[in-house]
Structure 1
Amino acid sequence: MRHVYWIGGGSGAGKSTIARRLADRHGWRLFSTDDVMPDHARRTTADEAPLLHAFMAMDMDERWVDRSPETMLETFHWFRGEAFGLIVEDLLRMPRETPVLVEGFRLLPHLVQPLLTAPGQAVWLLPTPDFRRAAFRSRAVPGEGFTARTSDPERADRNLAARDDMFTERLHEETARLQLPTVTVGLTMPEDELVERVSGVFGL
């Protein structure tokens, strides 16, 4: 896995944008873990990924309205590392002559660390709450998005925001414990600067 680089982090941190810019700049292959989630869900069984299959059986209110943010965090399958092995399987099937840049929130530090030949192959982007909320506001279209399909979109959005704040804090604690590189992403950081900060971690 020496040819693989990783960008993990909290939701709304700009992982996809930064990864796409770096992949384009250096001619690398880009692997978005978000894009393969439906395929990975189909490739698992309930025994292999019980939280994923329980989530798939819920209706929209059960997923986003009825449960507390704490319960949502503790039981969200991707946050628990379910099907991470399928990411590794996909990467191992790719040609190794071209570096691969993997990005997504599914890249949990304790799962990625054993795959690194050096800490500088991976970085986690940790958005401040203000940055993440601004990012989601800029993307939001009134009446659209999956929370709009619940009976109480405002509550669903609040639950989701609280869950994601806690997830980002968990990433902060885990990367600190494992001594893995991070970049804090705030409202005052231009996109170009973030690209260069990540490039610096990778030694590019």
Structure 2
Amino acid sequence: MEGLYIIGGSPCSGKSTIAEMIAEKYDFNYFKVDDYLEQYMKKAQEDGKPLSARAMQMSPEETWMRSPRLQTEEELEIYREIFTYIWEALSTFPEKKKIITEGAAFLPELVSAVGVDKKHYINIVPVKDFQYHFYSQRPWVPYILEGCTDKKKAFENWMERDALFAETVHADAKQRGYACLVTDGSIGIDEMFRTVCNLFEL
């Protein structure tokens, strides 16, 4: 898909904001993978994918009180299980209009496997302190953790999982020669936007 541009990476990094800015400025179709994650996981469950099936049945306590490393490993595997559905969805967009898509599901290994050009893919990951600071301010976080007996520990596990996920993505992107932007709050969203647009040669 020559007209496809992808932003991968980890949560709380600015992926969605930049993708929205690109869609608005360049009149691209915008596909936000997170809006369809539950749908794809249900599909994977129906198709007998084990980790997606298990995740769909887990309570918040079971989800967030696991070790962060195990959470990271299973999250990576779930993205591997659902990637086919994401790629199929992208293929349904009209070819006459370019597409900007973003989501943590776009792992470097998966994007590499389908042959995406290095000028059409970037990862954005936050440093741990930046991620922790902004996530702790989001009003919907308590709803995600509802049902956990120790919400503080559950939140710490969540943040550690995302930090480990960011490290994994950053290392794999570097190994495969893909761009990865690390954000710590020292540059604004407009500068990040220009950096991504320059990589995409827009």
Structure 1-normalised TM-score?
Answer: 0.92
SS in 2 for 1:148: coil
State the partner residue of 1:170.
168
Gaps of 5+ in 2: none
SS in 1 for 2:44: coil
Structure 1: how far apart are the matches of 2:27 and 2:15? 17
SS in 2 for 1:44: helix
Structure 2: how far apart are the matches of 1:199 and 1:90? 24
State the partner residue of 1:88.
87
Q: 1:192 aligns with which of 167, 190, 193?
A: 190
Is the alpha carbon distance of 1:113 and 1:120 closer, same or farther for their aligned partners in structure 2, counting shifts above 3 Å? same
Report deviation, 1:58.
1.6
Matches within 5 A, 1:100-179: 100-140=99-139, 144-179=142-177
State the partner residue of 1:24.
24
For residues 110-168 of structure 1, give each alpha carbon's deviation from its aligned partner in whole angstroms, at most 9, with x where no partner exists: 101233452110000021112212221332357x3311332211111000011111110
Report deviation, 1:48.
3.8
2:42 touches 2:53 (CA, 8 Å); kept in 1?
no
State the partner residue of 2:41.
41
SS in 1 for 2:146: helix
1:31 touches 1:100 (CA, 8 Å); kept in 2?
yes
SS in 1 for 2:35: coil
1:130 touches 1:187 (CA, 8 Å); kept in 2?
no
Q: Decide which structure has greater helix share.
A: 2
Structure 1: how far apart are the matches of 2:84 and 2:196? 25
Kindly, what percent of the aligned residue pairs are identical?
Answer: 27
SS in 2 for 1:184: strand
Report deviation, 1:47.
5.0
SS in 2 for 1:36: helix
**2:3 corresponds to 1:3:** yes
Structure 2-normalised TM-score?
Answer: 0.93
Aligned length: 202
Moved more, 44-53 or 13-22: 44-53
Structure 2: how far apart are the matches of 1:103 and 1:201? 15
For residues 155-199 of structure 1, give each alpha carbon's deviation from its aligned partner in whole angstroms, at most 9, with x where no partner exists: 110000111111100011100110101111112111110101111
2:60 touches 2:146 (CA, 8 Å); kept in 1?
no
Is the alpha carbon distance of 1:116 and 1:25 closer, same or farther for their aligned partners in structure 2, counting shifts above 3 Å? farther
For residues 83-109 of structure 1, give each alpha carbon's deviation from its aligned partner in whole angstroms, at most 9, with x where no partner exists: 100001101111111111110111100
Report deviation, 1:73.
1.3
Structure 1: how far apart are the matches of 2:162 and 2:113? 25
1:2 touches 1:116 (CA, 8 Å); kept in 2?
no
Structure 2: how far apart are the matches of 1:24 and 1:152? 42
Report deviation, 1:56.
1.4
**Counterpart code for 2:163:** D
2:34 touches 2:103 (CA, 8 Å); kept in 1?
yes
Report deviation, 1:75.
1.8
